[in-house]
């Protein structure tokens, strides 16, 4: 019941998280389109907990660069094949803009473009909390009415 009473808050947090994810993905795609540069990179670390790889590469002027490749855009067989020290082809953001520390796998760039702008886990939060609000609206008023009336089928006295 305590979780049900937090349904409006869960919905609000879901909306904020969804808008944030949408904005991050949209910004990544825009920056890759405008400032994207393709190069070879060496995987410098594999972070299975956060599901990403770090890659080292050289900018066209010869200066060293670093970026992270997020696994969420790719099929499991793609990111499981990536190993420490492996050379891969990436598209990175070659400008000092927000998200310039991110890169994508060049041969799987279409998967990044096709990835849903709002991930499925956010839709679950929104859906469950909205269902609680719609089908059990009395839980929204949990602290405002008598507990015995909360579980009754109607509010008639």
| Percentage of residues in the chain having pLDDT higher than 90 | 19
Question: Is 156 part of a structural domain of the chain?
Answer: no
Boundaries of domain holding 96: 2-150
Query: Which pairing describes strands 36-47 and 64-70: parallel, antiparallel, or unpaired?
Result: unpaired
What average pLDDT does the segment 30-50 reach?
Answer: 90
Question: Is 157 part of a structural domain of the chain?
Answer: no
What is the predicted pLDDT for the residue at 9?
Answer: 77
Question: Is 106 part of a structural domain of the chain?
Answer: yes
Residue 116 CB-half CA count within 13 A:
8
- As a whole number, the mean pLDDT across the chain is 81
Question: Is 99 part of a structural domain of the chain?
Answer: yes
Question: Is 8 part of a structural domain of the chain?
Answer: yes
Question: Is 64 part of a structural domain of the chain?
Answer: yes
Question: Is 46 part of a structural domain of the chain?
Answer: yes
Per-residue pLDDT tens for 6-17?
A: 677 777 888 888
User: How many structural domains does the chain have?
Assistant: 1
Per-residue pLDDT tens for 93-150?
A: 988 887 778 899 989 888 888 887 777 777 877 887 777 777 777 666 655 556 566 5
What is the predicted pLDDT for the residue at 19?
Answer: 87
Question: Is 155 part of a structural domain of the chain?
Answer: no
Assign residue 30 the CATH number of its domain.
2.40.50.140
What is the predicted pLDDT for the residue at 39?
Answer: 92
């Amino acid at each position: 019941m305590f979780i049900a009473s937090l349904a409006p808050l869960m919905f609000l947090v879901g909306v904020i998280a969804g808008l944030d994810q949408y904005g991050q993905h949209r910004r990544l795609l825009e920056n890759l389109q405008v400032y994207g540069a393709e190069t070879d990179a060496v995987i410098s670390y594999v972070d299975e907990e956060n599901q990403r790889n770090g890659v080292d590469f050289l900018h066209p002027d010869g200066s060293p660069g670093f970026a992270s490749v997020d696994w969420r855009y790719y099929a499991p067989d793609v990111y499981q094949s990536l190993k420490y020290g492996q050379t891969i082809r990436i598209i990175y953001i070659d400008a000092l803009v927000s998200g310039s520390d991110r890169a994508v796998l060049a041969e799987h760039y279409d998967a990044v473009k096709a990835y849903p702008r709002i991930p499925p886990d956010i839709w679950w939060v929104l859906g469950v909390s909205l269902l609680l609000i719609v089908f059990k609206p009395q839980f929204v008023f949990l602290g405002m009415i008598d507990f015995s009336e909360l579980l009754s089928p109607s509010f008639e006295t």
